[in-house]
Amino acid sequence: MHSRNKGFTLLEVLVAMTILAVALAALVKGGSDHSRNTLYLQERTLAHWAGQNLLTEYEAGMRPVAEGNRSGDTQMGPFRYGYRVEISNYTPQSPIPLPSVKRVDIRLWLLEQGEQDQRAFVSGFMLP
The predicted-structure confidence for 63-111, as pLDDT tens digits, reads as follows 998 899 999 999 999 999 999 999 999 998 889 988 889 999 999 999 9
Question: Is the confidence at residue 2, as pLDDT, over 80?
Answer: no
Report helix, strand and coil shares of the chain as percent, to nearest 5. 40, 30, 30
Residue 81 and residue 119 in contact, taking contact as beta carbons nearer than 8 Å = yes
Mean pLDDT of the chain: 92
Global pTM? 0.76
| pLDDT at residue 31, as a whole number | 87
User: What is the CATH T-level fold of the domain 10-126, as seen in this structure?
Assistant: Pantoate--beta-alanine Ligase; Chain: A,domain 2 (3.30.1300)
What is the percent of the chain where pLDDT is above 70? Answer: 96
Q: Which residue has the higher pLDDT, 1 or 96?
A: 96
Give the pLDDT of residue 4: 67
Domain boundaries, the chain: 10-126
| pLDDT grade for 3, boundaries at 50, 70 and 90 | low
